[in-house]
């Protein structure tokens, strides 16, 4: 199994390329974006040293499915998926915030709550909550969209408006779309025996219209619990069975790494890499209800480049 960790394409009409934490994004004629979902994996805002085979294919195919399943809620940037690891879409001017929505108290929100925090991003949290408890209704806890190498920071709706990162009218639309998308994702997850715990959405504008951008409801951007056994585990205080990238973060924390200065990423052995790949496949099959079909990885970069050039020239 091979993993794609870097691309250096020269595509027709290419104006620039941006290498993000896990995606390589090519600007075509200032009109379209070619987004390649690589097999890189990040945690604590750090790109880990080993790629995860098939991860990019899985993320791209899950995102494409959910983008197609939510076009009645809001317009999105996707135009085509010329390769299993590529989405081509409309070039939008992105809002510099990520709209994070949480249905349950867990992850970083629980770690903050446990330390005594009772307000996140301007949202007041009830007293007496326990880990993995469902909120009375989903809450939106935005973060800034940090430049590469910097950490995203929590930000409140009031601060977003004060800094002019969105107008009140724009933010109202972002909020409306976020809650509607989360509701749809929750319903689809429930039909597959899963609980959509939390997720993030990114939005941008094109010709004055707000579009949903990037990925949606993937394990890189979302956390899922298995619905079966949730109540029993919650009642007894046991950890939930989950499908998300949290297991990667937990493995890193157990091995003394949280992305802080001076810390070293633990060795990613072939067995660790294989287990992460297997977990991603498990989520793909659960959330889509389909068997994952592994694409040929003999020469991934060449395959992608040929498929994208064929699409752009057509």
Q: What DSSP state is assigned to residue 133?
A: P
Helices (H), 69-122: 107-114
Residues 196 and 213 placed together within one structural domain of the fold: yes
Residues 177 and 300 placed together within one structural domain of the fold: no
Read off the tokens for 119.
């307000």
Residues 82 and 121 placed together within one structural domain of the fold: no
Nearest to 94 by CA among 73, 77, 80, 81: 77
Give domain status of residue 195, yes or no: yes
Residues 81 and 100 placed together within one structural domain of the fold: no
Give domain status of residue 134, yes or no: yes
Both ends of the chain: CA-CA distance in Å? 31
Give domain status of residue 308, yes or no: yes
Task: Tally the domains of the chain.
Answer: 2
Residues 162 and 303 placed together within one structural domain of the fold: no
According to DSSP, the residues that pair with 123 across neighbouring strands are: 120
| Torsion angles phi and psi, residue 249, rounded to 5 | -60, -40
Give domain status of residue 250, yes or no: no
Burial of 297 (0-12, 13-18, 19+ CB in 10 A): middle
Residues 105 and 210 placed together within one structural domain of the fold: yes
Q: Spell out the long-range contacts of 229-236 with Cβ–Cβ below 8 A and sequence spacing 24 or more.
A: 230/132, 230/195, 233/132, 234/130, 234/132, 234/133
Residues 132 and 191 placed together within one structural domain of the fold: yes
Residues 192 and 63 placed together within one structural domain of the fold: no
Give domain status of residue 262, yes or no: no
Residues 55 and 150 placed together within one structural domain of the fold: no
Residues 290 and 193 placed together within one structural domain of the fold: no
| Torsion angles phi and psi, residue 304, rounded to 5 | -60, -50
Give domain status of residue 9, yes or no: no
Return the pLDDT at 148: 54
Return the pLDDT at 146: 67
Angle 46-6-206 from CA coordinates, rounded to 5°: 80
CATH number of the domain residue 287 falls in? 3.30.200.20
Give domain status of residue 254, yes or no: no
According to DSSP, the residues that pair with 99 across neighbouring strands are: 201
Taking only the tens of pLDDT, the chain with its 314 residues reads 799 999 999 999 999 999 998 999 999 999 999 999 999 999 988 999 999 999 999 999 999 999 999 999 999 999 999 999 999 999 999 999 999 999 999 988 999 999 999 999 999 999 999 999 999 999 999 999 866 555 679 999 999 999 999 999 999 999 999 999 999 999 999 999 999 999 999 999 999 999 999 999 998 889 999 999 999 999 999 999 987 777 888 899 999 999 999 999 999 999 999 999 998 898 899 889 999 999 999 999 999 999 999 999 98
Domain span at residue 166? 94-244
Give domain status of residue 203, yes or no: yes
Residues 118 and 129 placed together within one structural domain of the fold: yes
Residues 67 and 100 placed together within one structural domain of the fold: no
The distance of Cα 241 from the centroid of its chain, to the nearest Å, equals: 19
CATH number of the domain residue 162 falls in? 3.30.470.20
């Amino acid at each position: 199994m091979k993993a794609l960790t870097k691309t250096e394409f020269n595509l027709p009409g290419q104006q620039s390329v941006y290498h993000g934490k896990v995606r390589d994004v090519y600007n075509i004629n200032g009109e379209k974006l070619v987004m390649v979902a690589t097999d890189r994996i990040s945690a604590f805002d750090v790109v880990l040293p080993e790629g995860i085979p098939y991860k990019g294919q899985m993320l791209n195919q899950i995102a494409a499915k959910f983008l197609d399943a939510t076009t009645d809620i809001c317009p999105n940037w996707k135009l085509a998926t010329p390769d299993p690891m590529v989405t081509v879409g409309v070039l939008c001017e992105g809002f510099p915030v990520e709209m994070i929505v949480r249905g349950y108290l867990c992850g970083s929100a629980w770690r903050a709550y446990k330390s005594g925090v009772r307000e996140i991003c301007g949202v007041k949290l009830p007293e007496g909550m326990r880990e993995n408890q469902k909120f009375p209704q989903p809450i939106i806890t935005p973060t800034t969209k940090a430049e590469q190498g910097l950490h995203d920071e929590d930000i409140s709706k009031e601060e977003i408006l004060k800094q002019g990162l969105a107008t009140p009218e724009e933010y109202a639309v972002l909020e409306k779309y976020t809650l509607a998308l989360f509701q749809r994702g929750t319903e689809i997850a429930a039909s597959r025996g899963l609980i959509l715990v939390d997720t993030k959405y990114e939005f941008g504008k094109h010709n004055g219209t707000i579009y949903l951008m990037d990925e949606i409801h993937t394990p890189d951007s979302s956390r899922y619990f298995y619905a079966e056994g949730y109540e029993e585990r919650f009642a007894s205080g046991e950890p939930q069975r989950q499908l998300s990238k949290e297991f990667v973060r937990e493995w890193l924390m157990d091995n003394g790494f949280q992305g802080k200065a001076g810390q070293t990423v633990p060795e990613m052995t072939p067995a660790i890499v294989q287990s992460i790949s297997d977990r991603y496949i498990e989520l793909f099959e659960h959330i889509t209800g389909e068997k994952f079909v592994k694409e040929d990885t003999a020469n991934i970069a060449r395959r992608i480049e040929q498929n994208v050039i064929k699409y752009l020239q057509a």
